[in-house]
Structure 1
Amino acid sequence: MDSGESETGRGSGLVVAVDGPSGAGKSSASRGAAAALGLRYLDTGAMYRALTWWLLSRGVDTGDPDAVAPLAAEPVIEIGTDPRAPSVRVNGTDVTSAIRSQDVTEAVSAVARVPQVRAHLIARQRDIIASVPGIVAEGRDIGTVVAPEAPVKVFLTADGAARAGRRAAETSRPMARTRADQERRDRLDAPQSAKAADAVQIDSTRLGLDEVVDIIVGLALPYRSRKDR
């Protein structure tokens, strides 16, 4: 492993970092942009969800940092980087759908705050970014911690009602409950939610997915051209 590349998250190609709160549309927009640009795709949040799923499956108290910390590197988490068919496996088991369960959603913020978990998964994320010729990576603190030298940084946001509406549509849960859960996640994830100073903020409240994708692609194309020279 080349520690220089892994620690900076630069890799050998273009890195597009997409950050922002839950429900802002990061995943859909990032996958769309990656496909349009011919890049790989990394959902860093899925890695935290995968670990959380594994901990819950073993009956570990995910609210107890002392119980979680020594297990941070225990499961083998594999992340597929095809933007058209992203996948997640834990110890060989496909958990792509399972990690989106409500139980995982409610527990993942506590797991993600454990320092040992963050250290292990951030190192893994940097390794993945460094191992591919170009990638769109999305998740909390991508532009500030995981890949601070990414030439293209986007902070995708939307108002609370729009974000809750999108999440409710995805999960078929009541809007009021979804909004309350979202506000709770926002509070818990606040330490990892800072916008990078050089990130371009996109408010997707009144934008369609294709419009957001077009903006991200437009920001990335000049850098893509430089890499291709």
Structure 2
Amino acid sequence: MVIAIDGPSGSGKSSTAKGVARRLGLAFLDTGSMYRACAWQAAEDGVSDAADLVALARAADLQVGTDPDDARVRMNGTDVTEAIRLPQISAEVSKVAVVPEVRGELVRRQREIVADTLAGGRGIVLEGRDTTTVVTPEADVRVLLVADPDARVARRHAELGEVVDVAAVSDQVIRRDRDDSTVAAFTEAADGVVVVDSTELTLEQVVDAVVALAGKVHA
């Protein structure tokens, strides 16, 4: 089984996908971590030109774990799992993600991970931009996870704690949505994609909703 979860920043994609993967015994793929890893490497190398970003993405030794309890990310031999979540990377990742050729390269890699996982006899839950429409449009379950802006900002701020203030978090969430929407469709559900509004739901309730959709597929 392949389950794809898309949606705006702070809607709960990652937490939901991990919860569903644990519940159903599936692998997990955070596609956004791959863009973050490239953004981290770009910052390390002082790269900002689009052509250089494309070359960086294509040459990268990028390894992304698929264990929902330990999804480590390694970039060119360095474990960047924690580093790619820092506010400065969140503020820069869209500059990488909006480059079409970078997206093309990472989508190719994401599809390979999905294919390799399925070939190994295990299903996968993947989350992030384009997962329901570009990466795995043939997924068994496709969900657009949404929430109102205030809820999304509050959740992201809670994740970061006191590292950044609410205004900075709001900029990251709202601006990233605006920037990424120029190259990815995640504001409206495509045909066959089910909308789940998490604004008034607990994480457990959202996981329940997605698991129920998966159950219907194999009923």
Q: Fold-level match, TM-score > 0.5? A: yes
Tell whether 2:188 aligns with 1:193. Answer: no
| Counterpart position of 2:106 | 121
Give distance in 2, aligned partners of 1:123 and 1:170.
30
- Separation in 1 of the partners of 2:94 and 2:11? 17
Aligned match of 1:176: 167
* Alignment equivalent of 1:166, drawn from 155, 160, 176: 155
Percentage of matched positions with identical amino acids? 49
CA distance in 1, matches of 2:40, 2:60: 10
* Residue equivalent to 1:88: 73
- SS state at 1:73 partner: helix
RMSD: 1.3
C-alpha distance in 1 between matches for 2:193 and 2:139: 10
In structure 1, runs of 5+ residues without a counterpart are: 1-13
1:11 — aligned with what? none
Which structure 1 residue ranges, 4+ long, deviate > 3 Å from structure 2? Answer: none
Alignment correspondent of 1:222: 216
Please state whether the residue corresponding to 1:57 is helix, strand or coil. Answer: helix
Name the SS of the counterpart of 2:191 in structure 1.
coil
Could you list the runs of 5+ residues in structure 2 that have no partner in the other structure? none
Secondary structure of the structure 1 residue equivalent to 2:181: helix
Q: 1:149 aligns with which of 138, 144, 160?
A: 138
User: Is the 1:21–1:193 Cα contact (8 Å) retained in structure 2?
Assistant: no
The residue type paired with residue 67 of structure 1 is D
Determine whether 1:135 maps to 2:129: no
Give the TM-score normalised by structure 1: 0.88
Deviation digits for residues 101-126 of structure 1, max 9, x if unmatched? Answer: 11211111111111221111101000
Q: TM-score, normalised by structure 2?
A: 0.92
Q: CA deviation at 1:177?
A: 2.4
Report how many residues are paired. 210
